A and B are shown apart, each in its own frame.
Chain A
């Protein structure tokens, strides 16, 4: 009981988690707590501070060599090992950037544990050689996913520094040096901002006459625009995604009332472990299909650990779909012949388009190409389509049971033909064509000429207005499955085998009616978002859904999706290749069943609304 907190803390830190429990506890019990005020220096060669390994409980410490920060350490980071191994650079010292409380572990007992624990000592032996690598690994996987879902303000943020556009290069340099920043914001008189980095200044000094150093206004000219920024309460994984998307090393951190400072990719990386946080970056570095094959299971692991942390399924889906799209984009880059690069638009549809597919259960995709392709280009395209679908399967996207894939010529057409196809859906309304329209409406381009998909969707909207009766027939789809609640309000499995095993199809019973119903409202209102949560938000913003109702609907969807995800993860763990959407009632506890009942009640209310709104009484 007494040392529980300390032991718990240490067991969450790689590589200490490799130690047998008894040794880990002994190490934990040997630690004292040290307090370092802000701006104090820690000299590990001195007798006062030397001879210990420091593990940060709270605060931020920088490792400084020759006046430059070479590493940041924050919560759960540790330093002093290089000094213990006597491999440290003498010129290095540590400065406390933010008031720090740290555990200190005596070197002697730390060294004793290196003997006989190969994995533990291996970590330090190899890591000294490759310091950066070690920093990446300082966090255990669990801790790093926690970090990913942490907000930006928890990361080491470099101090904010800014100048007016009239400033001289000399003034900027002095300001940057004073706070040890390698970037500076430039505020223009028109209210816009730009950013100058030390690379810009270096380039400027090397290439331009020296008189410019003190001339006012030069800064305003060499600053870069636009400035990419992230809000301090945004998720860290969003910051990392932004950096990879724009291929930049730093982001400006925004506050509600201005700027907070800079977030560096290098510092961000120190917060993530090799897996699964680095999956995000690995996707960027993919060079072959084999590289992509490796990433699939890592994403699954990420989903698992995020779900265990209790992260809302909505956010998991957002992250995972971003990764899936990057994978698909990379795959296209690898496979598509250069001559076709500007001639196509490839889009994902259905749940993938809505960013709502978490476990890869199927793929819905299509391709449109420009109207004037030559015959040899067309045959190249056919070959690409076959290769693409085969490779998708290989990297873990199961084929679509309805064959809605770009390898099917029905979903690989010239742009004019595709528009005709859409018009035909309206001329020959049928359940299948309604389904196609629904799937297409959720489409999002992943590669090529994005505007072509926009055009096709416009055709779809135009036609829907020309055929007003379409929307009513379309909306009926939301009612096609019964809500699995019995006459007396209890949960009730559908029929036959499912009823025997007490299985409830949560997709048919709850998720589909919400997703499709919201889709109908969105189509009617001309809302372009595809994600159901964003559609609900847009409908709330326009006053079509009341605030309370929209939130209730969104939370209900989240809960149902979470149950489905958990059931799917359990099925995958049992070895089922393509998990279904069913939830075993017996596996839910009383409280979960209770919320499930309430969720279905919300679904029923929504269905009644749909009936009224789209005037469906006469059609049932």
Chain B
């Protein structure tokens, strides 16, 4: 009963979004993708304020079955109007000069998001603390297309939480589950590619997803 209501609500919301879409060219966002196909994505931003900070790089990679199609990955760089602050350079290690040097950099966030939308189409989105990355994209598309990303979303830290709960099922102690990105990688014995840039993070998140999916979660 609960599920029926949930899916009905979902459908209603989707229909509202569809009606609100300002540009029909983007109707493909509402078409479901082929089964077993997902898109994992990650942004590096100028900060953590989803209303005022900007996207610097955005990487997305497709997952089909047990494979991660890195050869067709999307790696976008956005030119910045303001200098990137020192604190955030320390986090993502993208210096101002790296953005200026990048030949393929997009002039505005909107141009970059156009390429991103064409890449994801209606696919299910996968990410680690995905909500933030989605909010960064929504901030751009809401005033422009009148909608927020309508794609189904999967949060890997949630999947991992379910996995960790399942692993600890036989124990009577409430497990202390560490949801930090590096801890998840370590626990799942996945390779850590080191430098956290958007492309590596998207790839590592995709690996977490593939492995958890293989273990029957989701």
The residues of A that contact B203 with a CB separation of less than 8 Å are: 33
1/0 per position for A1-43, CB-CB distance to B under 8 A?
Answer: 1110110000000000000000000000111111111000000
The residues of B that contact A104 with a CB separation of less than 8 Å are: 67
A35-B210, A99-B189, A101-B190 in contact; A5/B195 too (CB < 8 A)?
yes
- A293: interface (CB < 8 Å): no
Given contacts A5-B200, A58-B190, 5 further A-B contacts (CB under 8 A): A1-B98, A2-B59, A3-B199, A29-B71, A33-B70
1/0 per position for A321-348, CB-CB distance to B under 8 A?
Answer: 0000000000000000000000000000
State the Cβ distance, B152 to closest chain A Cβ, in Å: 22
User: Is B71's CB under 8 angstroms from A58's CB?
Assistant: no
A33-B68, A58-B191 in contact; A101/B207 too (CB < 8 A)?
yes
User: Is B191's CB under 8 angstroms from A32's CB?
Assistant: no
State the Cβ distance, A31 to closest chain B Cβ, in Å: 6
1/0 per position for A37-61, CB-CB distance to B under 8 A?
Answer: 1000000000000000000011000
User: Is A37's CB under 8 angstroms from B214's CB?
Assistant: yes
- B69: interface (CB < 8 Å): yes
Query: Which chain B residues in 193-212 approach chain A with CB under 8 Å?
Result: 193-195, 197-200, 203, 206-207, 210-211
A-B contact pairs, 24 of them (CB 8 A): A1-B75, A1-B94, A2-B73, A2-B75, A2-B197, A3-B73, A5-B200, A30-B71, A32-B67, A32-B68, A32-B69, A32-B71, A33-B207, A34-B66, A34-B68, A35-B210, A35-B211, A35-B214, A37-B214, A57-B191, A58-B191, A99-B189, A101-B190, A104-B67
User: Is B66's CB under 8 angstroms from A36's CB?
Assistant: yes
User: Is A34's CB under 8 angstroms from B67's CB?
Assistant: yes
The 3 closest A-B pairs by CB, nearest first: A2-B75, A33-B68, A2-B199
State the Cβ distance, B207 to closest chain A Cβ, in Å: 7
Interface residues of chain A, those whose CB is within 8 Å of chain B, are: 1-3, 5-6, 29-37, 57-58, 99, 101, 104
Give CA–CA (A37, B200) in the complex, Å: 21
Q: Which of A2, A29, A35 has the most CB of B within 10 A?
A: A2
The residues of A that contact B69 with a CB separation of less than 8 Å are: 32
User: Is A1's CB under 8 angstroms from B197's CB?
Assistant: yes
Give CA–CA (A615, B127) in the complex, Å: 71
The residues of B that contact A32 with a CB separation of less than 8 Å are: 67-71
The residues of A that contact B200 with a CB separation of less than 8 Å are: 5
State the Cβ distance, B1 to closest chain A Cβ, in Å: 36
Give CA–CA (A36, B65) in the complex, Å: 11
Dominant secondary structure at the B interface: mixed
Closest residue on chain B to residue A57 by CB atoms: B191
User: Is B190's CB under 8 angstroms from A31's CB?
Assistant: no
1/0 per position for B54-98, CB-CB distance to A under 8 A?
Answer: 000101000000111111010100000000000000000010001
The answer, among B67, B98, B189, for a CB contact under 8 Å with A33, is: B67
The residues of B that contact A2 with a CB separation of less than 8 Å are: 59, 73, 75, 197-199
The residues of B that contact A101 with a CB separation of less than 8 Å are: 190-191, 207
Give CA–CA (A35, B98) in the complex, Å: 32
State the Cβ distance, B68 to closest chain A Cβ, in Å: 4
Give CA–CA (A2, B69) in the complex, Å: 14
Give CA–CA (A99, B200) in the complex, Å: 20
The residues of B that contact A1 with a CB separation of less than 8 Å are: 57, 75, 94, 98, 102, 197, 199
User: Is B210's CB under 8 angstroms from A5's CB?
Assistant: no
Closest residue on chain A to residue B98 by CB atoms: A1
User: Is B67's CB under 8 angstroms from A35's CB?
Assistant: yes
The answer, among B70, B189, B206, for a CB contact under 8 Å with A6, is: B70
State the Cβ distance, A176 to closest chain B Cβ, in Å: 28
The residues of B that contact A35 with a CB separation of less than 8 Å are: 66-68, 207, 210-211, 214
The residues of B that contact A6 with a CB separation of less than 8 Å are: 70
The residues of A that contact B191 with a CB separation of less than 8 Å are: 57-58, 101
Give CA–CA (A5, B70) in the complex, Å: 11
1/0 per position for B161-203, CB-CB distance to A under 8 A?
Answer: 0000000000000000000000000000111011101111001
State the Cβ distance, B194 to closest chain A Cβ, in Å: 8
State the Cβ distance, A324 to closest chain B Cβ, in Å: 37
Give CA–CA (A5, B195) in the complex, Å: 9
State the Cβ distance, A97 to closest chain B Cβ, in Å: 14
Closest residue on chain B to residue A34 by CB atoms: B67
Give CA–CA (A33, B205) in the complex, Å: 13
State the Cβ distance, A161 to closest chain B Cβ, in Å: 23
Give CA–CA (A31, B203) in the complex, Å: 13
The residues of A that contact B193 with a CB separation of less than 8 Å are: 5
Give CA–CA (A31, B198) in the complex, Å: 18
Closest residue on chain B to residue A75 by CB atoms: B191
Give CA–CA (A37, B199) in the complex, Å: 24
State the Cβ distance, B45 to closest chain A Cβ, in Å: 16
The residues of A that contact B211 with a CB separation of less than 8 Å are: 35
State the Cβ distance, B85 to closest chain A Cβ, in Å: 20
State the Cβ distance, B110 to closest chain A Cβ, in Å: 21
Give CA–CA (A165, B67) in the complex, Å: 47
